[in-house]
Amino acid sequence: MGIDSIKSYMSELLKKGQREDGRKIFDYRKIEVEVNPLARACGSARVRIGETEVLVGVKMDVTKPYPDSPDDGTLMVNAELIPLANPDFEPGPPSPQSVELARVVDRGIRESGAIDTAKLCITPKEKVWTVFIDIYPMNDDGNLLDAAALGAIVALKHAYIPKYDEKEEKVLYKELTKEKLPLTCLPVMTTFGKLDGNVFLDASRREEKSYDGRLSIATLENGAISAMQKGEAGTFTEKEVFELLGTAIEKGKELRGLIKKV
């Protein structure tokens, strides 16, 4: 195979601490967050990172609890990589990429205990609230993971629980109570890319086409890490991982600041 000249040029830029679009290696592109754009969701968000755009909707329903956690509400995260958002996405059953996206976002939220699932119990062993988080990218210009994770937390933060008619045992989907979905903390995800030994943050789609690997790290306000995921076929050294954990915590603070403002 010929030398990938675009990749070597990106590598040269990165060695100088620069990116194609003028950013520095650990800069995010411009982030915009819109709260509750979806009228029928319990809570929702539209997140833009550069030209990447993701819609996240939180819906709730009453279901039976899982047998191993009879007093807890449940969480289900789903991502639909619709072909609308990227010429390379194909319609059909969930691809490994969409399943990974959903599960990584899920892990960051679930493992941090962000949702107080005990408060989502209606009748132990019989009825609990299930929280559905649905992720729909509208335009993929790279780093869907961070946009999706950010959208999920903002949607959860602004979500209200629907009315439940105990007598009729029916959820009144069109009516929300004044009770907020119980959120205890704000986990945020930061995804780094690695190209030819150079590490950077928030890859654009062009950078994703050339990079070797990525590492996503979900962090909490107290500096704890709630999830990690290495993706693509590249590798990271121990030193890189530890350095990135520190950078992730710093960057996490920036994102959390944004969430608190909306």
Which of 24, 32, 35, 51 binds another protein (CB under 8 A)? It is 51
Between 175 and 254, whose beta carbon lies closer to another protein?
A: 175
Q: What DSSP designation does 183 have?
A: B
Between 21 and 254, whose beta carbon lies closer to another protein?
A: 21
Q: Which helix (H) or strand (E) holds 113?
A: none
Which of 27, 31, 63, 84 binds another protein (CB under 8 A)? It is 84
Q: Are the beta carbons of 154 and 110 closer than 8 angstroms?
A: no
Question: Per rule CB under 8 A, is residue 80 in the interface with another protein?
Answer: yes
Footprint of another protein on 148-207 (CB under 8 A): 171, 173-174
Per-residue x/- track, 202-241, another protein (CB under 8 A): ----------------------------------------
Q: How far is the CB of 18 from another protein (least distance, A)?
A: 7
Could you tell me the CA-to-CA distances from 237 to 19, 55, 93, 243, 252 in Å, in that order?
Answer: 22, 34, 35, 10, 22
Q: How far is the CB of 203 from another protein (least distance, A)?
A: 15
Question: Per rule CB under 8 A, is residue 96 in the interface with another protein?
Answer: no
Measuring CA to CA, which residue among 256, 142, 139, 141 is closest to residue 189?
Answer: 256
Which of 30, 67, 68, 87 binds another protein (CB under 8 A)? It is 87
C-alpha span between 54 and 101 (Å, rounded): 12
Q: How far is the CB of 37 from another protein (least distance, A)?
A: 8
Q: Are the beta carbons of 18 and 24 closer than 8 angstroms?
A: yes
Per-residue x/- track, 55-74, another protein (CB under 8 A): x-xxx-x-------------
C-alpha span between 232 and 214 (Å, rounded): 6
Between 44 and 226, whose beta carbon lies closer to another protein?
A: 44
Question: Per rule CB under 8 A, is residue 22 in the interface with another protein?
Answer: yes
Instruction: Give residue for tokens 């990271």.
Output: 236
Q: How far is the CB of 85 from another protein (least distance, A)?
A: 6
Question: Per rule CB under 8 A, is residue 85 in the interface with another protein?
Answer: yes
Q: Are the beta carbons of 129 and 71 closer than 8 angstroms?
A: no
Q: Are the beta carbons of 187 and 109 closer than 8 angstroms?
A: yes
C-alpha span between 113 and 85 (Å, rounded): 31
Give the contacts of 171 (CB within 8 A, at least 6 positions apart): 60, 61, 62, 162, 163, 164, 165
Question: Per rule CB under 8 A, is residue 141 in the interface with another protein?
Answer: yes
The residue ranges that bind another protein (CB under 8 A) are 1-2, 4-6, 8-9, 12-13, 16, 18-22, 38-41, 44, 51, 55, 57-59, 61, 78, 80, 82-87, 91, 93, 132, 134, 136, 138-141, 171, 173-174
